[in-house]
Amino acid sequence: MTAVLVVPAVARADNAQPLNQCQIAGPASPQAQTAVAFACAAWRARTPYTWGGGHNPGYVGPTYGSVDWSDVQHSWRDPWIKGLDCSGFVRWAWYRAMNRDVLPGTALDQYRSSNAFQVYPAHNGGSGIEGYLLAGDLVFTSGNGSVADISHVMLYLGDGKVVEEWQSGEVARVTTLASRTTDGRLVGAVRVRNQGALEQPGNYSAANPAIDPNNPFAYVLAPGAGGGGGGGNGIPERMWATDVNVRLHPNRSANVVTSLPSPTMVYVRCQQHGESVTDEGYTNDAWSYLPDLGGWISNIYLQGPAWFSDVPQCGTGETDSSVGSGSSAPNGAGGPNRTWGTDVAVRSTPYTDSTSTVLTRLTGPTAVQLSCQKHAQTVTAEGYTNDAWSYLPQYGGWISNIYLQGDAWIAGIPSCDGKGTPTPAGTRPGQTWGTDVALRVDPSTSSGLVTRLSTPTAVAISCQKHAQSVTAEGYTNDAWSYLPQYSGWISNIYLQGDAWLAGVPAC
């Protein structure tokens, strides 16, 4: 993540009423019309807010977020939610409009950006601001109305309405500008530079995928990925492993198209069941097709659940029948624990409410692996009541302990940490120590700061490597570990254990 991680959270107290229509109003430049079209497409797709989403280095688009330590109660799930925060949302919309990254950084960075100019510096508490604005302009607020404390940005639609990503646990919404600039919160507004002449709103159709508002997350290009629409032809997912083979068919005996030497972002068009693969203690038969590379990768090597909820299943003309000798049954990984019952839901969060989606259903009793358990929503089912849930890494989701054979709290399964954070597939659990510990973009103290861990924290470690030698806290060590939840590196000095961590593979 970038410096967006230090931006204060938007106050959760909110009286704005969501509106049920997202459309541009009034004349705007072609670029502003495109930015609004994509912002409204993300609104129609119910794109979730996730803190820090849209700010991964070298990539513009929806990403997994991070925990906002000023609002842990609501944001602890954000590392497992792919979406955008407020500044990531407007950054992405204008990236699609300008074909370059014109609004990187935090909301404050965007307000001060050399790629924008002020059209309404705050001076009268917000009265009559609509008279200064055009669709596509960015409107900024803070708790006290001061520039230094800017904490939120919205995209203006025209006709007194805005579209925004506004807080953890919610999705993009449209509401009135007036409701968001009360109580002296308005700071000002800016307009992106180098736009064309004003025109009446045009019609954008799926015939031109570069500006297709109905498919907002396809054709997302990472900066430097190449022109011509080749890079990013699909939904972005991030790898965690090294030296991963991309194969011509979804099986291990197929020819290798290319090998990816290090964790990177890849673009996925669709997924299907292929040959069952076992690696790093997990088994999965799901494979994803990478159109940019012309081949298939086992989902074991992609961060996230065994089967991605945001990636479509390969349809007619896309399915590859060369599945090898593996089973075609999904999620064949077994484990020392066992479910009971039929049609048992595995959920994205340990809740049954609207914030949780069903990732898969276990049609019958199934052997499963459990990484940890925690107390969450109380559930009553099958004549039992229990608030304990367990995390199943091979499915990337949670199951109520009611449906696990054994006691209400499963003996021998550790508790998830205080934030309810499980250990994702392909990683090892770890624990930091100390305060104000820096996570870096690269394994070097001179590289960019991703975030700081203010207190000892349970973390997931994907791999470690020898890099810059660091002396701190009376120790010297050149080992660094990669933490995929934060997309950053930490010196092993600040991880509990030996200088080189047992059980963690080399990057």
- Residue 381's domain comprises 337-403
Q: Flag whether 420 is in a domain.
A: no
Strands of the sheet with 116-121, listed across from one edge: 116-121, 186-192, 138-142, 150-158, 161-164, 173-176
Please state, in angstroms and rounded to a whole number, the distance separating the CA atoms of residues 65 and 80: 7
| Cβ 143 vs Cβ 10: under 8 Å | no
Which helix (DSSP H) or strand (DSSP E) does residue 360 occupy?
strand 358-362
Q: Flag whether 460 is in a domain.
A: yes
Instruction: Clarify whether residues 183 and 319 are in a common domain.
Output: no
- Positive or negative: CA dihedral 232, 237, 243, 244: negative
Q: Which pLDDT tens digit goes with each residue over 323-348?
A: 754 333 333 333 457 788 888 898 88
Instruction: Clarify whether residues 94 and 110 are in a common domain.
Output: yes
- Positive or negative: CA dihedral 265, 266, 271, 276: negative
Please state, in angstroms and rounded to a whole number, the distance separating the CA atoms of residues 220 and 295: 19
Cα–chain center distance at 128: 37
* Token output for 167: 């807080």
Query: 13-27, 221-235, 273-287, 398-412 — which is least confidently predicted?
Result: 221-235
Q: Flag whether 375 is in a domain.
A: yes
Helices 86-98/30-44 angle, 10° precision: 130
pLDDT band, residue 151 (cuts 50/70/90): very high
Per-residue H/E/C for 98-151? HCCCCCCCCHHHHHCCCCEEEEEECCCCCCCHHHHCCCCCEEEEECCCCHHHEE
pLDDT > 70: percent of the chain: 80
Structure confidence at residue 202 (pLDDT):
60
pLDDT band, residue 290 (cuts 50/70/90): confident
Instruction: Clarify whether residues 283 and 357 are in a common domain.
Output: no
Q: Which pLDDT tens digit goes with each residue over 199-250?
A: 877 644 333 333 444 444 433 332 222 222 233 456 767 777 777 888 988 8
Domain boundary pick from 278, 295, 330: 330
Which helix (DSSP H) or strand (DSSP E) does residue 237 occupy?
strand 235-238
**Measured over all CA atoms, what is the biggest interatomic distance in the chain, rounded to whole angstroms?**
70
Q: Flag whether 229 is in a domain.
A: no
Instruction: Clarify whether residues 189 and 55 are in a common domain.
Output: yes
Domain count, the chain: 4
Instruction: Clarify whether residues 316 and 348 are in a common domain.
Output: no
What average pLDDT does the segment 372-387 reach?
A: 83
Domain boundary pick from 278, 298, 330: 330
Structure confidence at residue 219 (pLDDT):
33
Q: Name the CA dihedral angle for 361, 364, 370, 375, rounded to a multiple of 10 degrees.
A: 70
Instruction: Clarify whether residues 148 and 54 are in a common domain.
Output: yes
Instruction: Clarify whether residues 320 and 363 are in a common domain.
Output: no
Please state, in angstroms and rounded to a whole number, the distance separating the CA atoms of residues 238 and 404: 31
What average pLDDT does the segment 268-285 reach?
A: 80
Place of tokens 């938007």: 10
Q: Flag whether 478 is in a domain.
A: yes
Please state, in angstroms and rounded to a whole number, the distance separating the CA atoms of residues 163 and 493: 44
Backbone angles phi, psi at 311, to 5 degrees: -110, 125
465 class by beta-carbon count within 10 Å (0-12 exposed, 13-18 middle, 19+ buried): middle
Instruction: Clarify whether residues 345 and 321 are in a common domain.
Output: no
List C-alpha distances in Å: 240 to 105, 362, 465. Answer: 25, 27, 14
Please state, in angstroms and rounded to a whole number, the distance separating the CA atoms of residues 56 and 70: 21
Please state, in angstroms and rounded to a whole number, the distance separating the CA atoms of residues 159 and 26: 7
- Name which residue leads in pLDDT, 216 or 406: 406
Domain boundary pick from 292, 314, 330: 330
Q: Flag whether 415 is in a domain.
A: no
Q: What CATH number is given to the structural domain containing 487? A: 2.30.30
Q: Flag whether 248 is in a domain.
A: yes
The chain-wide mean pLDDT, for the chain, equals 78
* Token output for 184: 């002296």
What average pLDDT does the segment 94-107 reach?
A: 91
Instruction: Clarify whether residues 173 and 262 are in a common domain.
Output: no
User: Is it the case that residue 86 has pLDDT exceeding 90?
Assistant: yes
Helix (H, G, I), strand (E, B) or coil at 464: strand
Q: What CATH number is given to the structural domain containing 159? A: 3.90.1720.10
Backbone angles phi, psi at 252, to 5 degrees: -75, -15
* Token output for 40: 């409204």
* Token output for 100: 């370059």
Q: Flag whether 224 is in a domain.
A: no
List C-alpha distances in Å: 382 to 162, 286, 342, 403, 496. Answer: 46, 31, 11, 9, 42
Instruction: Clarify whether residues 199 and 135 are in a common domain.
Output: yes
User: Is it the case that residue 351 has pLDDT exceeding 80?
Assistant: yes
Instruction: Clarify whether residues 29 and 119 are in a common domain.
Output: yes
Query: 38-52, 166-180, 371-385 — which is least confidently predicted?
Result: 371-385
HSE-CB for 145 with a 13 A CA cutoff: 12
Please state, in angstroms and rounded to a whole number, the distance separating the CA atoms of residues 96 and 163: 16
Please state, in angstroms and rounded to a whole number, the distance separating the CA atoms of residues 498 and 507: 17
Query: 36-50, 76-90, 101-115, 220-234 — which is least confidently predicted?
Result: 220-234
Instruction: Clarify whether residues 204 and 245 are in a common domain.
Output: no
* pTM of structure: 0.46
Q: Which pLDDT tens digit goes with each residue over 155-200?
A: 999 999 999 999 998 999 999 999 998 888 899 999 999 888 888 7
